[in-house]
Amino acid sequence: MTGRFAGSKERWLAVSLTLLAAVALLQQQLLARRPPRLLAVAVQPIRSGAAALDVTFSRPMDRATVADSPLEPKYPHRWFGRQDRMRLLLESGDPVSGPVRLDLRGQDLRRLPMTPQSLWWDPRPFLLAVAPGDEGERLLMRLRDGRWRPLMPAQQRILQVEPLGDGRGVAVVGDDAETTQQVLFRRIDQRSLSGASSGLDDPALGPLETLESGSLLFVHLSANQRGDLLIQLGGFEPGSDRIWILDQGSDRRRLALEASGALRLLPDGTGLVLPSFDGLELLPLESTPGAAPRQTLPGSREVKAFCSGSGRALLVRHWPDYRRSLELVIPGRPPRQVWIGEAGVMAAACDNGGERLWLVLREAGQQARDRMLLLDAQGRTLLNRSLNDWRLTSGAELDFDPVSDQLLTVVRRPGEDAGRVALISGRTLDLTVLDQPAVLARWLPAGGAWAARTRGSR
């Protein structure tokens, strides 16, 4: 009896395994005949062109067939990547003036076509401005229709505005009293990508968080394109300095660093620039065994801008004879001097590739007029324009937007108390001054993601 029972059990097991193998083979054959699908699309903040999308498919695709997906309007673009993950890159060229429609299509490596999927994408950033008012200064966002929306309660003063590079939020340093400062962070849910034209909408405001508050001597913020936010602060007591990072997952991480100036995160999220008494030091955010030692650039230098798509940066160097020079730093090469003179460097910026450089100079004297230069990467002057009666306000930056090919800043006329938001063409240096009064102004990059509603098996 025992032997017959054992034999029956073995036969039953063999039949079950055979059936399971047959089912698996049948499922495999059915899936092989199933057409590929679009799974997800997300705005990619780290880019070398004007804007980019990351696209995920259900299986490896033939990139040449995906590259035939129509884009309307027809802006110059390229496709990168392989297998089931690809990237659409809008090349720097004609400024993008509105939403674009992408009709995604293509075939997988078995030549099976996917069901076409239309997506609407608005890569334009949002303009942020700190506007003065009777109740103090308030951070505003300009919506697509031109209206201004408050993002935070009014503060006595707003000392710094730092948008996250992935567009998920913006942080400010507010000053409500003589010795009290606070770091406020507003989360933002962007709707710059949708499967329907009606889905493109103004951002939805998330919760407002207080990251730091108290009697502080200084606070400095820095963000990268990955969405990390660095908070550097110090109190009046010895040893009260702290440096920590709020990462994409909202986790806080303390950094054991000592700096003699304001830290700057690298745009790609790999490291930071640390000011020291000997110069500038470049070090990674993550310490790993066998990592390269700190790189030091000696001399009195300060970072003015990062060319975010190329690893290049613009530095201002201060010389003992009171001259100043602008240097283009290229990875693996010594700094290249692109300008030197006695004028004050009010602000500087570069495009993503570090091929076009802009700087605003202020000559000494009673007039103290500002003029703007457009240089190439070799330091040759391409354009030289006076800002006429307008001057950059104290603390104003040049914030470059590759989508519209414009620089954002704040200007005012001599004798006027309030500044105004100004846009400068990156090609012609033409100045457009808006009616909006402002103290500070920055771009908030577009963000967002789209995902298929039904995923199922691959």
Q: Residue 353's domain spans which residues?
A: 295-386
The answer to the question of residue 323 being in a domain is yes
The answer to the question of residue 20 being in a domain is no
pLDDT tens digit at each of 458 positions of the chain: 555 555 666 666 666 666 665 555 545 554 556 899 999 999 998 777 899 999 999 999 999 999 999 999 999 999 999 999 999 999 987 899 999 999 999 999 999 999 999 999 999 999 999 999 998 999 999 999 999 999 999 999 999 999 999 999 999 999 876 668 999 999 999 999 999 888 899 999 999 999 999 888 889 999 999 999 999 998 888 878 899 999 887 789 999 888 888 999 999 888 999 998 888 998 888 766 555 667 888 888 999 999 987 789 999 999 999 999 999 999 889 999 999 999 999 999 999 999 999 999 998 765 778 999 999 999 999 999 999 999 999 989 999 999 999 999 999 998 888 899 999 999 999 999 999 999 999 999 999 999 987 544 44
Query: Residue 55's domain is classified under what CATH number?
Result: 2.60.40
Residue 371 tokens read as 């003029």
pLDDT of residue 456: 46
Residue 306 exposure: Cα atoms within 13 Å on the Cβ side? 22
pLDDT of residue 5: 52
Burial 182-191 (b: 16+ CB within 10 A, else e): bbbbbbbebe
Domain's final residue, options 386, 404, 435: 386
Domain's final residue, options 96, 121, 146: 121
The amino acid sitting at 31 is: L
> What is residue 213's three-state secondary structure?
strand
Domain's final residue, options 121, 141, 173: 121
Residue 148 tokens read as 């201004």
pLDDT of residue 454: 55
The answer to the question of residue 285 being in a domain is no
The answer to the question of residue 354 being in a domain is yes
CA distance readout (Å), 3 to 6, 7, 10, 247: 5, 6, 11, 64
Q: What are phi and psi of 208, to 5 degrees?
A: -100, 125
The CA distance from 131 to 420, in Å, is 9
The CA distance from 401 to 384, in Å, is 20
Single pTM value for the model:
0.89
The answer to the question of residue 148 being in a domain is no
pLDDT of residue 279: 87
Cα 422 to chain centroid distance, Å, stands at: 21
The CA distance from 299 to 37, in Å, is 55
Q: What are phi and psi of 206, to 5 degrees?
A: -90, -165
The answer to the question of residue 380 being in a domain is yes
Torsion angle, CA of 20/25/26/31, rounded to 10 degrees? 130
The CA distance from 314 to 297, in Å, is 13
Residue 176 tokens read as 């409500």
The answer to the question of residue 256 being in a domain is no
Strand residue runs (E) in 351-439:
356-362, 370-376, 381-386, 391-392, 399-401, 406-412, 419-425, 431-438
Torsion angle, CA of 422/428/429/434, rounded to 10 degrees? -10
The answer to the question of residue 83 being in a domain is yes
Contact 436, 128 (CB under 8 A): no
- Overall domain count for the chain: 2
